[in-house]
Structure 1
Amino acid sequence: MNIGELVEQIQLSNWINPILITPKQIIVSGHRRWQAALQLNWDSIPVEIRAFPNRLSELEALLSENLARSKTREQKVREANSWKEVESARAKQRQEAGIKIDESDNLMDIFSEGRKGTTRDLVAAKVGLGSGVTYTKAAKVVTQIDGEIQAGNEEWAEAWRSILNTVSIQAAYSLLKLPRKQQKQILDLIATGAARTPKEAALLLAEEASLDDPRLFVSGDFAVVNIDPNLTFAPSDLRWNGYWGRVEGTGTSGLIVLNLGSEMLQFYSRDLVEIDEPSDEFLQVASKVLRLRSLDLDELEIALLDVLQQRLEFTPRQLLHLEYLEKVLTLPRLPGA
């Protein structure tokens, strides 16, 4: 329920659940109810006053009260960080008291779930982030958000938030691993609304680079696929990296159509390296490899062609294997064989 719906509900019922506050009038639970009351211009609302022995107990109460709230991934990370703070403080208290207890046992008391595991795994499960690994990735992104804000990069901070909260933790974490220059380009596109996700932004950048690329290919040229491995959001065609193919023309949006034997794929020109002045031997081998690729092959036959399609020069043994394979695959087959 968003704040607008809460305001409407309270207005219709003319009743509000008491909010929880400390003797110093600090709200522990009920911030949204307080905001709704302000929007309704209420002069007063019911409260429950509760005294806490220390700040740590107050923090635990706040976290426990907020467990049921609908939260963004960023909010879940910050809540998990607070739970870790609680555990660290409790561990220090145990140490000072000379009590030895496994950290997961202590967290079982805090969470009342009876679960074993590391601190990060337990806090991640508690706030709804899944595993400790997922929490760690998301926490690094939240740290980046805070860093952008401190540096005055508010728009980039909002772009990070958008990716983390509306796309996925993995998308935000993958972007975090890219070089800073590439990060900025992607964040700018998302901040301006030109792209919604890092993948969309990366594809836009690749298209722009292709349009600016002076390299031209014509049908019959041979080129090696050379997609930048640092481009986290590269297409699935990345599996063809290092393989050569024959240019068959241009496709949609000016992309280069490359014949790889078993399939025709389209690439940006920047992702291809032309084979200059291929030798006659290469051209003969390439013609055979591409033709054989289109046949029904077993794993061993595919492995042999894989080796050949990643080389520009060939050993006598490789040529002999290719000749044998060509004979086997082109022999006439008996009906039903």
Structure 2
Amino acid sequence: MEQFEGTILTGESFEPVRGRVVVADGRIEAVEQTDTTSTDIVLPAFVNAHTHIGDSVAKEAAVGLSLDEAVAPPDSLKHRRLAAASRTELVTAMRRTLRFMERTGTTAFLDFRESGVEGARALRDAAREQMVDPFIFGSEDPAVLEVADGFGASGAADDDFAARRAAVREAGVPFAIHAGEPDADDIHPALDLEPDLLVHMVHAEPEHLARVAERETPIAVCPRANLVLGVGRPPLRDLLDHTTVALGTDNVMLNAPSMFREMAYTAKSFDVTAREVLRMATTAGCEITGRNAGVVEAGRAADLLVLDGDSDNLAGCADPIRGVVRRAGLGDVETVVSSTGG
């Protein structure tokens, strides 16, 4: 049994409570309000809702390139680098990225994994004995579902995914798809596939949002990647007003997969509250995957992040939630607790 004391960001509203969290066998046993001298801040660990971890073999290689030049299948720089990397190079690079993600407070992530069955197996190997748990959206053929947790489509304009969507539905696992990244042209075709998750939706318009709200389709947004690729800014306030929105860091080649950096950029650049951003970085990703975490309350999986609230960076913050979302970083991390145990 372990105990973590300090200011606890409790429940779905992240209400700050002075007390302790009691953990046993990977579960939160109790959240107790009590006097404590600890200055730590205890909150849910992060869930990175959209990544391409395979891009770990090409960090910063796409600087200055357009969306198509950088990542579009099949001939972009990204795909050339993936094809050129040996399996050992790929697994080693992904494993190092996972270690960085864990140190920055992430215990789960939703990855679009290229290269079909072999690509999914490579990520499984990279994640073995790590504290960061992958939810893998596999690619190419539905046979990938033998290894992956769902299927991830590049975009409705890239191919005809109807047959693969039917196979994924038959398998009873999630189907996710990129939509509305360069423009709005592929959003309706993506929605026609009745996805379980949409990624980006930078160019979503009212007619698209009405369809999203009708089916309660969640969306993963990646504002920093959109900025780097010059595709625009997601209408984040409108998205939040229509459905569940989760936060992701997208391609490792474009940005470090730090949820601290993604939260700070989002909170300072969009019409959102710190609480909304923290929910996007924690609870929302758990809801999308059915993970019993993302909230600090009894009975939940013990995926927790403990920050030093008296660090030189965080000491004196007027509000712990704003401090976590807008200011905190790797240097403030005291402990990361994962229910998977590594």
TM-score, normalised on structure 1? 0.23
* Greater relative contact order, per chain length (Cα 8 Å cut-off, separation 6+): 2
Larger Rg: 1
* Higher fraction of strand: 2
